């Protein structure tokens, strides 16, 4: 049956366009129930025995949630107890338009067979489709469509079970909808009353999201925050320039401060500083907000105070005393920032948060404060009856709302993750907190893997260069199984050198658009944690078929140069190939071969040739202004039995690290130029923007404190300044300066060439760059491989590859995933560092001051490549006399003045007083300041165990 609607629309040119919309109605849309004999469904989803113990519904029943129940109670619906749910098409379409995250979660639940969730396309069923009536709102029409579909199900099941006991239950929290449904003769309950009727499931009650009516019950009547403006006023304010729209970023070190990054291009102001609870006005990290800018006389400087919201009570206490600390330092007009206040929230970007429960002091209380693991997120007030069981556990909580008369947002319990401090639990927390996809690969994804045993076919050989005879080898960190790249170098008959970079041909196995490709694109990158790796592609590819292991034939994508002995490129060619690596070496093994004069085999000759050319290439890059920065990286030695860290060292870089890096850079630059020449609008490239001059302020101040000048006009000027920055009798000074310079840099990002005009890579001093050399662990490289394959006629193209807008949105996801992976890796290192020091007791070490704050100094310990903070204000004892000078910056503590890069001696221990935020605590030993520094503790030697590198 066909229904059509015809209407006319005026075009921009002033013409009239007739539009006809056709809507097909069908009789063959089945109910999806096992009990139904009328519907000819060969694979019914809804079970006959749909029993769930309830005080309200003692009979078997199917649930039909309305749109608001689905949107707000998704945590309930995801619970294993809730099964046999009918998701109406009307509801699914509304959810899709209103919340992409909830839509994805409900789609996942529908695909989960054990849940028995069935999608009923009521909008195309002849008996359940309804037209919108004159004067009826779209929302009222959809509510009526839900009631009509529920009524049809109730009648249909009654008829097909001969009046049996199987029923449908409509869940709605809309009072008017509930009343109308009851008039229809439907069984209907509010979500809360239905969930509370379920027997023996208190955890489900805790998962209930609060409705606005419920939220008013848990808060005081005193107004703590200004009212948010309605959306209509916000939109007109943004349009006329009175308000600015941006994304709110909370300050990790100071809960009373945040910054709004303005989204619109062409604005004179791109950041607005917010200070104080009233001006933050219930904004949560990552929310899109509207801000009102203060006049210039009210602008302030960012605070140097470290403030954390860790007061033990959960009352809506006054914050005046704490907020006064923000105003303790007279403002320096040179560092004043545009300042303002949040007047409304345009879009909430809330997600479920991991953390721990702070139990209320009141006995038998059901309302408690939840402290998120992420210090940028405010504490959340939740209601739970299982607080005693959740003590010491990592849990997940979702925010429901933040009323203007509540100090904290209100939320609900989602799930228990495990015991705090447990390695598995903490790893799960850091993966969830950094949004790292880490579930096992689904059967749909695994179905696209090649069938084993796999081998290279004659067809493969016909379209590839046979390079199996070349003396190719790989050089990687110890224990590496996902070997992306291999190299060779040999002399040609004409006296020149042939150098090849051979990269795993992952794009041969991952074809565009299939489930395996979509999963890899979503993950974006492999994430390396301490002792754990979250693969971007299944292990069969990452550690086997794509890994360029020694003495096996592998498919590769080769970039081969003919060079003279001065490392000048004469000719470049790209080809799909077959290789057979002759050796898989570690950096140390390759270095030993190069250094051992008695060795002269083909592999060693190849390595020496590569190493000599790499030094020339590096020298040439440095001359152009490429930066050599520093970042302390650490390596843990792990106990082979307990898997606890028993030793911690900074990673030592060898010549061979630099050798491999140089040829990877050269391959990336060569490929970038090739794909841009062929596809100027849709090449996936990588750029590193030059930092704004203000980023260098701290670096220039730090150098000036040692009477040195740093020039930042260009990368070349900065590189030369860093090379010349030395201080007599202070050999580590230059490394400290380079570490500081690294902090001044912008983030390198992927972008689509057709959507940008600035391609320059600042750090590498290269006009164009991309990523080609690590397709096993980076999805960007797979796209680059596909582009290059099309460019050399080795593969066919597809529409998305040539669509610059789709490439650009892909780049946004890749940039996000790479950033989150970096943060997750740092969090993993921090957790293992704590484990290491927990087992060591108190250790004394020398360090250097990296940053000076208003009430603290941040210290780098070179031996362990770690940072920690010495606070000079302590709640338990009187604070010393402090005087902070932002110009230095310097901090005077009693009679001693601290400068950046000063050498200090500290004790290092783990402060476990806060189970959730266990942290490395540092206390000052030297210089000795009476009442501030601590005496030298006696450290006990710890016996070493068998160890395994991580």
pLDDT of amino acid 675: 96
What is the tens place of the pLDDT at every residue in 364-399?
677 889 999 888 999 999 988 888 888 889 999 999
Claim to verify: residue 667 and residue 568 sit in the same structural domain: yes
- Given a cut of 70, whether residue 219 has pLDDT beyond it is no
Whether residue 309 sits in one domain with residue 321: yes
Q: Is residue 828 part of a domain?
A: no
Cα gap 609→591, rounded to integer Å: 13
CA 947, CA 644: separation in Å to the nearest integer? 10
481 and 510 in a single domain? The answer is yes
Q: What is the pLDDT of residues 91-149, one digit of tens each?
A: 999 999 988 889 988 998 998 888 999 999 999 998 999 888 899 898 999 999 999 99
Which pLDDT belongs to residue 875?
A: 66
Residues 260 and 132 placed together within one structural domain of the fold: no
Name the pLDDT band for 941 (thresholds 50, 70, 90): very low
Task: Check pLDDT > 60 for residue 682.
Answer: yes
Q: Rounded to an integer, what distance in angstroms lies between the CA atom of residue 544 and that of residue 561? A: 28
In a domain, 765, yes or no: no
Q: Does residue 275 form part of some domain? A: yes
Asked whether residue 153 is assigned to any structural domain, the reply reads yes
Q: What is the pLDDT of residue 784?
A: 97
Question: In the prediction, which pLDDT does 464 show?
Answer: 94
Q: Which residue has the higher pLDDT, 218 or 450?
A: 450
Judged by average pLDDT, the poorest of 9-18, 115-124, 507-516, 669-678 is 9-18
Structure tokens given for 935: 């005496």
Q: Which domain holds residue 358?
A: 351-427
Exposure pattern of 316-336 as b/e (b: 16+ CB <10 Å)? Answer: eeebeebbebbeebeeeeeeb
Categorize the per-residue pLDDT at 71 as very low, low, confident or very high, splitting at 50, 70 and 90.
Answer: very high
pLDDT for the residue numbered 421 = 84
Judged against a pLDDT cut of 70, whether residue 443 lies above it is answered with yes
pLDDT for residue 771 is more than 90: yes
In sequence order, what are the beta bridge partners of 476? Answer: 586
Task: Please check whether residues 357 and 269 belong to one and the same domain.
Answer: no
User: Are 236 and 355 within one domain?
Assistant: no
448's CB contacts (< 8 A; 6+ apart) are 510, 511, 514, 515, 516, 517
Helices H, strands E: what count in the chain?
26, 39
SS (H, E, C) 384-429: CCCHHHHCCEEEEEEEEECCCCCCCCEEEEEEEEEECCCHHHHHHH
How far lies 142's CA from each of 6, 130, 139, 441, in Å?
21, 9, 5, 37
The DSSP secondary structure of 111-142, one letter per residue, reads H-GGG-EEEE-GGGBTTT--PPPTT--HHHHH
Averaged pLDDT, 166-192:
92
Looking at residue 396, what is its pLDDT? 92
3 state SS of 613: helix
Closest by CA to 303, choosing from 261, 258, 351, is: 258
pLDDT category of residue 901 using cuts at 50, 70 and 90: confident
* 476 and 589 housed in the same domain: yes
**C-alpha span between 206 and 200 (Å, rounded):** 13
At residue 753, the pLDDT reads 95
Number of neighbouring beta carbons within 10 Å of residue 718: 23
Q: Are residues 358 and 499 in the same domain?
A: no
pLDDT of residue 842: 84
Check whether 637 has a pLDDT greater than 60. Answer: no
pLDDT value at residue 104: 87
- CATH number at 330 reads 2.40.50.690
Q: What is the pTM of this model?
A: 0.81
Mean pLDDT of the chain: 86
State whether 258 and 199 are in the same domain.
Answer: no
Output the pLDDT for position 122: 92
Residues 486, 550 within the same domain: yes
Cα(370)–Cα(395) distance, rounded to whole angstroms? 9
Question: d(Cα 409, Cα 400) in Å, to the nearest integer?
Answer: 8
Alpha helix segments (H runs only) across 125-216:
138-160, 175-183, 191-197, 202-206, 212-215
Helix 655-678 vs helix 779-791: angle between axes, to the nearest 10 degrees?
50
Which residues share a beta bridge with 395? Answer: 355, 416
Check residue 221 and give its pLDDT.
57
pLDDT per residue as tens digits for the range 605-623: 999 999 999 999 999 988 8
Q: Per-residue confidence at 796, pLDDT binned at 50, 70, 90? A: very high
Q: Is 331 within the bounds of a domain?
A: yes
Which range, of 164-178, 303-317, 701-715, 754-768, averages the lowest pLDDT? 303-317
Phi/psi region, residue 131 (left: phi>0; alpha: psi -120 to 50; beta: rest), is beta
Whichever domain contains 169, its CATH number is 3.40.50.1010
How many CA atoms does the CB half-sphere of 114 hold within 13 Å?
Answer: 4
- How far apart CA 196 and CA 204 sit, in angstroms, is 8
- Mean pLDDT for the stretch of residues 255-276: 84
More confident residue, 581 or 206: 581
CATH at residue 865: 2.40.50.140
* 71 & 178 share domain: yes
Residue 454 has pLDDT above 80, yes or no: yes
Residue 356 domain-assigned (yes or no):
yes
Is 217 a domain residue?
no
pLDDT digits (tens, 9 = 90+) for 33-44: 988 888 888 888
Query: Are 847 and 829 in contact, with CB atoms under 8 Å apart?
Result: no
Place of tokens 């790292």: 436
Contacts of 679 (CB under 8 A, 6+ apart): 753, 787, 790, 791, 802
Rounded CA-CA distance 512/806 in Å is 13
Say what the pLDDT of residue 841 is.
Answer: 78
| 136, part of any domain | yes
pLDDT of 172 reads 94
Which domain CATH number covers 357? 2.40.50.700
Q: Choose one of 175, 208, 241: the last residue of a domain.
A: 208
Reply yes or no on whether the pLDDT at 448 is more than 60.
yes
Q: Among 285, 314, 347, which residue terminates a domain?
A: 347
* Spatial distance between the Cα atoms of 651 and 633, rounded to a whole number of angstroms: 6
In a shared domain, residues 385 and 471: no
Domain's final residue, options 363, 392, 427: 427
Q: Given the structure tokens 């939840």, which residue do they identify?
A: 370
What confidence tier does 947 reach under pLDDT thresholds 50, 70, 90? very low
- Report the number of distinct structural domains present in the chain: 5
pLDDT given for residue 539 in this prediction: 94
* Token representation of residue 621: 């890059």
């Amino acid at each position: 049956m066909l229904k059509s609607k015809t209407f006319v629309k005026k075009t921009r040119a002033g013409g009239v366009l007739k539009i006809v919309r056709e809507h097909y109605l069908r009789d063959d849309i089945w109910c999806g129930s096992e009990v139904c004999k009328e519907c000819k469904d060969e694979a019914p989803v809804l079970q006959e025995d749909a029993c769930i113990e309830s005080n309200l519904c003692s009979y078997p029943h199917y649930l039909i949630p309305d749109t608001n129940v689905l949107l707000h109670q998704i945590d309930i619906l995801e619970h294993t107890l809730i099964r046999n749910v009918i998701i109406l098409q009307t509801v699914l379409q509304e959810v899709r338009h209103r919340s992409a995250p909830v839509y994805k979660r409900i789609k996942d639940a529908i695909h989960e067979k054990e849940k028995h969730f069935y999608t009923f396309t009521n909008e195309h069923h002849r008996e359940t489709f309804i037209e919108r009536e004159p004067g009826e709102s779209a929302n009222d029409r959809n509510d009526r469509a839900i009631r009509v579909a529920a009524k049809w199900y109730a009648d249909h099941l009654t008829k097909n079970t001969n009046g049996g006991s199987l029923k449908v239950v409509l869940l709605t929290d809309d009072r008017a909808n509930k009343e109308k449904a009851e008039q229809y003769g439907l069984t209907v309950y509010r979500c809360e009353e239905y969930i509370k009727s379920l027997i023996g499931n208190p955890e489900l009650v805790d998962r209930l999201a609060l409705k606005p009516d419920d939220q008013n019950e848990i808060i005081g009547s005193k107004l703590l925050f200004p009212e948010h403006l309605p959306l209509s006023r916000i939109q007109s304010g943004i349009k006329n320039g009175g308000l600015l729209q941006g994304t709110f970023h909370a300050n990790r070190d100071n809960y009373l401060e945040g910054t709004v990054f303005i989204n619109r291009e062409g604005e004179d102001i791109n950041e607005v500083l917010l200070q104080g609870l009233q001006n933050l006005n219930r904004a949560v990290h990552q929310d899109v907000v509207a801000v009102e800018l203060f006049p210039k006389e009210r602008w302030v400087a960012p605070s140097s105070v470290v403030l954390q919201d860790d007061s033990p009570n959960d009352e809506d206490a006054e914050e005046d005393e704490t907020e006064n600390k923000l105003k303790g330092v007279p403002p320096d007009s040179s560092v004043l920032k545009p300042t303002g206040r949040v007047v409304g929230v345009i879009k909430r970007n809330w997600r479920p948060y991991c953390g721990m429960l702070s139990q209320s002091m009141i006995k038998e209380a059901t309302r408690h404060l939840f402290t998120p693991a992420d210090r940028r997120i405010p504490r959340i007030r939740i209601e739970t009856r299982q607080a005693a069981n959740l003590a010491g556990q990592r849990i997940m909580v979702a925010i429901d709302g933040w009323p203007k008369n509540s100090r904290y947002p209100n939320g609900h319990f989602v799930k228990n993750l495990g015991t705090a401090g447990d390695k598995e639990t903490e790893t799960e927390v850091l993966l969830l907190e950094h949004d790292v996809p880490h579930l096992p690969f689904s059967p749909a994804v695994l179905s696209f893997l090649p069938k084993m045993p796999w081998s290279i076919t004659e067809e493969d050989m016909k379209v590839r260069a046979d390079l199996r005879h070349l003396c190719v080898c790989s050089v990687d960190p110890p224990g590496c199984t996902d070997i992306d790249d291999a190299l060779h170098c040999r002399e040609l008959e004409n006296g020149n050198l042939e150098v090849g970079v051979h990269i795993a041909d992952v794009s041969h196995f991952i074809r565009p658009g299939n489930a395996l490709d979509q999963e890899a694109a979503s993950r974006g990158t492999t994430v390396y944690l301490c002792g754990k790796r979250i693969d971007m592609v299944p292990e069969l590819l990452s550690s086997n078929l794509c890994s360029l292991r020694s003495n096996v034939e592998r498919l590769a994508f080769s970039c081969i140069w003919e060079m003279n002995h001065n490392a000048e490129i004469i000719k470049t060619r790209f080809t799909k190939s077959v290789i057979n690596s002759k050796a898989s070496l570690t950096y140390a093994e390759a270095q030993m071969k190069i250094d051992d004069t008695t060795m002269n085999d083909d592999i060693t000759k190849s390595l020496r040739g590569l190493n000599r050319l790499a030094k020339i290439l590096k020298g040439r890059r440095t001359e152009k202004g490429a930066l050599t920065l520093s970042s302390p990286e650490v390596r843990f030695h792990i106990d082979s039995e307990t898997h606890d860290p028993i030793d911690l060292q900074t990673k030592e870089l060898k010549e061979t690290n630099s050798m491999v890096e140089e040829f990877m850079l050269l391959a990336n630059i060569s490929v970038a130029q090739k794909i841009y020449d062929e596809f100027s609008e849709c090449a996936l490239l990588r750029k590193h923007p030059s930092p704004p001059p203000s980023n260098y302020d701290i670096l220039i101040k730090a150098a000036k404190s040692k009477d040195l000048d740093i020039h930042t006009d260009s990368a070349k000027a900065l590189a030369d300044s860093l090379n010349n920055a030395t201080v007599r009798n202070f050999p580590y000074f230059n490394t400290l300066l380079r570490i500081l310079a690294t902090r001044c840099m912008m983030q390198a990002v992927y972008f689509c060439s057709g959507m940008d005009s600035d391609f320059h890579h600042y750090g590498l001093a290269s006009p164009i760059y991309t990523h080609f050399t690590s397709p096993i662990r980076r999805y960007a490289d797979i796209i680059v491989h596909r582009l290059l394959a099309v460019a050399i006629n080795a593969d066919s193209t597809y529409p998305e590859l040539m669509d610059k807008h789709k490439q650009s949105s892909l780049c946004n996801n890749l940039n996000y995933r790479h950033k989150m992976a970096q943060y997750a890796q740092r969090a993993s290192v921090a957790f293992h560092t704590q484990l290491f020091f927990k087992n060591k007791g108190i250790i004394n070490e020398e360090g250097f001051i990296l940053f000076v704050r208003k009430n603290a100094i941040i210290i780098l310990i070179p031996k362990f490549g770690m940072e920690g903070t010495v606070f000079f204000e302590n709640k338990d004892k009187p604070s010393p006399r402090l005087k902070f000078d932002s110009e230095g910056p310097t901090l005077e503590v009693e009679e001693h003045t601290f400068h950046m890069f000063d050498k200090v001696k500290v004790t290092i221990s783990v402060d476990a007083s806060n189970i959730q935020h266990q942290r490395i605590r540092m206390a000052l030993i030297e210089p000795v300041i009476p009442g501030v520094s601590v005496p030298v503790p006696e450290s006990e030697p710890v016996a070493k165990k068998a160890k395994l590198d991580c």
